[in-house]
Amino acid sequence: MKALVFTGTESMEYRDEPMPEAGDGESLVKILSAGICGSDMHAWHGHDARRVPPMVLGHELAGVAESGPLKGQRVAINPMVTCLECRDCRDGNPNLCQQRDLLGLVRAGGYAEYVVAPNRNLLALPDTLSFEHAALMEPLAVSVHAVRLAERALSRPISESNVTVLGGGAIGLLAALVLKQKGVRELHIAETSPTRLKLLNSMDLGNCYDPRESSPTDAHMDLVVDAVGSGLTRAAASRLVRQGGVISHIGLQDNAEGLDVRRITLQEIILLGNYTYNDEDCATALDLLNRNALGDYPWLECRPLSVGAQAFHDIDQGIAPPKIVLQP
């Protein structure tokens, strides 16, 4: 089969790879859409020791099951593989399982014509949902999960809250779309890429701004969603959040300093870490996509898998839309 293989730092090669074989409890899936995630970019930059080249990345996946209980059906794939037996799995928090794995992390991912996944990780798709939109289930579930945890922590309803999202990439944009649907009082989105900022402004999401040029008033936000996760954005979140507010930290760009721990302590600010999703979040994401609740998709671009290497370069240079979906 053909696959896009991560071969080293900033290096991808489209080449022939052995056909995967499904084992007990697994299904072979023909991939028809595979999104590029920020964590795939992190690996491509050589910043993720868990993803060891040569390997096939890709975990935002949709296609057709070629074997298993859903053979012949259109499916999206929940790429997270967990033990199902530990306390966190039993409590409905498989994302906290200490034995968790992910397609495209250690197991082969979906930048290929075929991938193998556990039967339990396949979700049947309605005929009305396209494969390219179904591939958005995974990143949308990340944003749904983050907003759900933030709602639980906020002292007032989300509809009465002022919110800033730091980062207009896929996760930040999807979080903003979920927040807008919930009717937040004020919505601000910070983005430094001129290409992305122009797109965000065209979508009428709220106040979209370049943080190098302007910023909302400090200590004004009930919720700040850090979808970048850098020292600079953590510092910005610490400034923007009001007393008793919430910082929702999703991004994993670096581990540099930035949080104002003194202010967080003295002003009783809640810092929430967010990692992936659970089954409920995936189901919610699929429902939102199937109902077209997020509106149009001017921020989504499909490209052939064969030119996937160039897509990684375009994302790196900031000249790509927030989400690129590769199609074998």
Tens digit of each residue's pLDDT (9 = 90 or more) over 214-268: 999 999 999 999 999 999 999 999 999 999 999 999 999 899 999 999 999 999 9
Q: Are residues 29 and 110 in the same domain?
A: yes
**55 and 18 within one domain:** yes
Give residue 55's pLDDT. Answer: 96
The sign of the dihedral angle between the CA atoms of 156, 157, 162, 167 is: positive
Cα pseudo-dihedral 148, 153, 154, 155, rounded to 10? 140
Residue 226 lies in a domain: yes
* Residue 82 sits in the same domain as residue 178: no
Last residue of a domain, one of 238, 257, 273: 273
99 pLDDT more than 90: yes
For residue 288, tell me if it sits in a domain. Answer: no
pLDDT band at 328 (very low <50, low <70, confident <90, very high): very high
- Verify that 42 and 67 share a domain, yes or no: yes
Residue 54: asked if its preceding bond is cis (omega within 30°), the reply is: yes
DSSP state of 219: T
Is 254 in the same domain as 214? yes
Which of the listed residues 273, 288, 314 is the one where a domain comes to its end?
A: 273
Residue 185 lies in a domain: yes
Residues 170 and 117 in one domain: no
Please tell me whether residues 165 and 216 are part of one structural domain. yes
- Which residues, including other chains, have CB under 8 Å from residue 210's CB and lie 6 or more apart? 190, 191, 192, 194, 197
Mean pLDDT of the chain: 96
Strand partners, 81: 101
Instruction: Classify residue 188: in a domain, yes or no.
Output: yes
* Token output for 129: 């949902």
Domain count, the chain: 2
Distance CA 249, CA 116 (A): 31
Which among 257, 273, 289 is the end of a domain? 273
Judged by DSSP in three states, 53 sits in coil
In a domain, 243, yes or no: yes
Residue 78 included in any domain: yes
Q: What is the mean pLDDT of residues 197-223?
A: 95
SS3 176: helix
The answer as to whether 21 is a domain residue is yes
For residue 114, what pLDDT band results from cuts at 50, 70 and 90?
Answer: very high
User: What would the pLDDT profile of 16-72 be if each residue is shown by its tens digit?
Assistant: 999 999 999 999 999 999 999 999 999 999 998 899 999 999 999 999 999 999 999
| Whether residues 126 and 201 fall in one domain | no
Mean pLDDT of the 105-124 span: 97
CATH of the domain at 129: 3.90.180.10
Domain extent at residue 51:
2-135+297-327
- The pLDDT tens digits for 158-180 are 999 999 999 999 999 999 999 99
Domain harbouring 237, CATH code = 3.40.50.720
Q: How confident is the model at residue 273 (pLDDT cuts 50, 70, 90)?
A: very high
How far is residue 269's CA from residue 198's CA, in Å, rounded to a whole number?
32
Q: Note whether residue 284 is domain-resident.
A: no
User: First CA to last CA across the chain, in angstroms?
Assistant: 10
Instruction: State the pLDDT at residue 318.
Output: 87
Tell me, yes or no, whether 80 and 161 share the same domain: no
Residue 150: pLDDT band with limits 50, 70, 90: very high
Q: Looking at residue 225, what is its pLDDT?
A: 98
| Residue 162 shares a structural domain with residue 44 | no
